[in-house]
Structures are given as structure tokens and as C-alpha cells.
Amino acid sequence: KHNRLNKSQVQQRQGDADRAIKKEKKNNKTSDSKAVPAHHHHHEHQHPQHHQHQHRHPSHQKSKGEDGKGGGEYYYYHGGVKSSAIDDNVSGCPFLRQRKWPKPTITKSVPLATRGFTHVRSEGTALLLQDIGGGDRIRRVCTRFYEKAFQDQVLKTFMFEDDSAAHHGKRLADWIIEKMGGEGDPWSDSGRLGLRQVSHSKAWYSEKREPRKRGRRFKVDDCRIWMRLMFWAARDEGLAHHKPFFTWYVDFIKHFIRVYERTAPPYAEESAQWSASQENIAKYIKDGRVMKEVIIDFDTQRDPYNDPYYFFDNAFDKE
């Protein structure tokens, strides 16, 4: 039976965090702890040459001040990298609304909770979800991901539905939120429980794929591209600087990516760091949103139907 926080417990925890933030702000008299200087946000669609200079990411703006545990530095985050998918859909999708996210209070790592090979929810991940601002923050991340995936030359061929990045993002985010716990069961309550494998099968057989590739499961290069864009989206939302969350998130993605390709998990850390380099992003965009260094020649990849691990891996997709 999963560990879950009920509504009153979540509200109490959030209230404690809010009160701690207010108390800290009251005690902190330094002016630079209350705001971040205005900063021009560079959109990822700019010409690649604009990225040659190492611009500081908007979420890198630091404010000096007491962190409640004897000093240090913390980040105030105001908006993140511009996203047209968020801006264009916020009126119809209120979960995308920008708000002033709470200052993180969790400073220690939160382990990925599993029983055997199966992921389970825990009190720690439910609190972690609240510490980043709740499920809507995940929905913003996943909307950013699909904005990128729809433009990627490999991932876009798997897309068999034409609704927006916001709708795609909400579906993926609801699944992640349910896995973290603390906000109910948005994925199950939507009626999509058990349909993840069905959706992925449709992606494998998408008519947008080359005829010779249709029916083939996600391979290691597909998984690496997917992970890089997922972590890039979280970084654009400012969550790479919430170290306990980002560390847990890498472990979470690593755990589930093995469902689709057993050789993909070791690439999770590299995938998470890839977007920390503006040079990597600039090269990717200049190359027409193709990760040339990742893509493996089709003829050298294992055929999933002859792969002895195919049915072994497929069993885990029921998580």
C-alpha cells in the first residue's frame, strides 16, 4: 500500500514552509534577497550564433541571504526561459499560469522509493512535489518538453496525435504527479490508467516514421534524445537548481527508461548535464534539431522481436 499524504497533511506542510519563508524574509534586511535584477531572457529559437557567448541562464540569478540553516546562497526564480507553448495556451490551461514559486525548504536528497523492481510513492516524494510548487510546476515542465519534442527530427515522428504541447504535457505530467504522490491520482482519475503501453504502441507504428522503422520499439538513441529534452525542459523551468528534486528526477527517469531500452539507464546522468552547456544547445539547433552524435545507424540496432530482453523489459511497463 502506497504511502500518501492526505489533503490536510499536505496543506499543513505547505503552511509550515510558507511561514518559514515569511519569517526569513522579515529577518533578512538585505535588499538583494528580495528581488532579482531585470534580466533579458534569451529564447531558444534565436539564431545559433547568439548562443556562442555564455549567457547566464535566468534562473542563475543569485540572491545572497540567510538560508535558514546558518547562511549560504539560494535562488529566486522569476519566469524561466520563454516558452511560446506556455504563453499561447495559458488562457485555456490555467495550470500553466506563472506564479511566484516558494523558496525550497528541502535541502537533503530524497531517495527513489522502490520495492524490488517496482517504483512506489513515498512521503518524501510527496513533500518534494510540494516543495517545487506542486503538480502544476511539473505540468509546465512537460509542456516545455513537448514544445521541444514536436520540433525534434526524431521524436516528432512518434507523435500520432495533433493536439497541443500543453495537452500532451498535461497527460505526461499527470502520470509523474501520481507517481510522486500527495495530489491524488490525476492519471488514474482521467481514465488513462493502463493506456500508457497502448499509446506507446501507437507511437511505434506511427505513419510519420519511415516504413522500415514502423513497429520498432524505442531504441537507445531515441531514449537518449527523449531524456536530454526532458531534463532540458526541467532546466528551463529552473528546477535544475532545486538539487534534491533534480537528483531525484534523474533517478526517476533512469528507473522508467529501462522499460523501453535496457541499455539506456546509464546515459541518464549525461543526458541531464547535456543542456547545461549552451554550446550543446546551439549545435543541436544549428544541426536542424538533430542529435547527430547520438543517432545510431538503423541497420546496426537490435531488432526488438529478436531481442531476448524484449519480453523481460515489457513486463516492467505495467508500473
Q: Is pLDDT of 66 > 60?
A: no
Residues 159-210: tens digit of each pLDDT: 988 788 999 999 999 999 999 999 999 999 998 877 878 888 899 999 999 9
Distance CA 2, CA 167 (A): 28
Q: State pTM to two decimals.
A: 0.70
Residue type for position 199: S
CA angle 78, 82, 87 (to 5 degrees): 100
> What is the per-residue pLDDT for 82?
87
Residues 205-235: tens digit of each pLDDT: 999 999 999 999 999 999 999 999 999 999 9
User: How is 132-162 classified by DSSP, letter by letter?
Assistant: TT-HHHHHHHHHHHHHHHTTSTTGGGG----
Dihedral, CA of residue 183, residue 187, residue 188 and residue 194, to nearest 10: -150
Pairing of strands 114-115, 118-119: antiparallel
> What is the per-residue pLDDT for 194?
79
User: How is 185-212 classified by DSSP, letter by letter?
Assistant: -HHHHTT-TT-HHHHHHHHHT-TTS-GG
Q: Is pLDDT of 313 > 60?
A: no
Residues 4-36: tens digit of each pLDDT: 445 455 455 555 545 544 544 454 333 333 333
Task: Answer for the pair 224, 264: CB distance below 8 angstroms, yes or no.
Answer: yes
